[in-house]
Structure 1
Amino acid sequence: MSDPLQIKRLLRRPQFLAAAKGVSEARGAVVIQRLDRGDGSAHIGLGFTATRKVGGAVVRNRAKRRLRQAARLMIAQHGRPGSDYVFIARMGTADRPWDRLLDDVKSTLTRLATPKTERADRPSHPRASSGQDDRTP
């Protein structure tokens, strides 16, 4: 029998800054950053943040509460052990219908669990390959 998944909260600023150096994905009302710690520990670290652009303190707190609950429901199935995740609230997080928010979190976690080399479905940016710039002189 495997031991249960251990989840720890990220509480210190350096932990959040480290996660920002990992990969990130945005879907709907959430941005999630993931850092593969590589420290041999199998626990999952979770952090939650919302900027003042999201709204006042009441709106930011509601958005973070909703993200915490969504993470509790989804991280065991879609999270990768040995990783730290930072959930960042966006403008519509506090008002998004619950099932859509859960879908955003699930699809973002699934996307982050897939290595970039296996992600062939994302087309490259059109200007990146043409070498042309649309700006006028």
Structure 2
Amino acid sequence: MRKRADFLAANSGKRASTPGFILLVRDRKDADPSMRVGFTVTKKIGGAVVRNRMKRRFRALAREIVPAKGVAGSDHVMIGRANGIERDFELLRSEFANALDRLRA
């Protein structure tokens, strides 16, 4: 996802909070079954290096987990939290999978 309007629309969907990030999932209600993913990390988290590192970690998680556990026809947005960069990658992986499971139920 690249357009600001898509990110704002995702804010009206379901949300799941974890210590490392907030996950938003919004059904687009169109005929397209593809799953789109977007990432947001604000300047409050840190400088450009820290924000880019966090987004790279989020991309790796999304590449691995969204095809298997994502919601078809939906937009998925991950919003970084302050202690997300320090969390163990395996812990982030399990939190992301659990958050998707909660939102699908």
Taking structure 1 as the reference length, the TM-score comes to: 0.74
Q: Which has the higher helix share?
A: 2
The structural deviation recorded for 1:28 is 2.0
- Secondary structure of 2:83 counterpart: coil
Residue identity (%): 38
- Secondary structure of 1:92 counterpart: helix
> Highest CA radius of gyration, 1 or 2?
1
The 4+ residue runs of structure 1 with deviation greater than 6 A are: none
Any idea what the Cα deviations from partners look like across 1:23-77, whole Å, max 9, x if unmatched?
1111120111011011011000100010112111111111111011011111112
1:43 maps onto 2:34 in alignment = yes
Alignment match, 2:55: 64
Alignment match, 1:26: 17
Amino acid at match of 2:26: L
Any idea what the Cα deviations from partners look like across 1:80-129, whole Å, max 9, x if unmatched?
11000101111122221110010111111111111xxxxxxxxxxxxxxx
How many residue pairs get aligned? The number is: 105
- Secondary structure of 1:47 counterpart: strand
The 1-side partners of 2:95 and 2:44 are apart by: 20
- Larger RCO (CA within 8 A; separation ≥ 6): 2
1:94 maps onto 2:85 in alignment = yes
- Secondary structure of 2:82 counterpart: coil
For structure 1, list consecutive stretches of 5 or more residues without a partner in the other structure: 1-9, 115-137
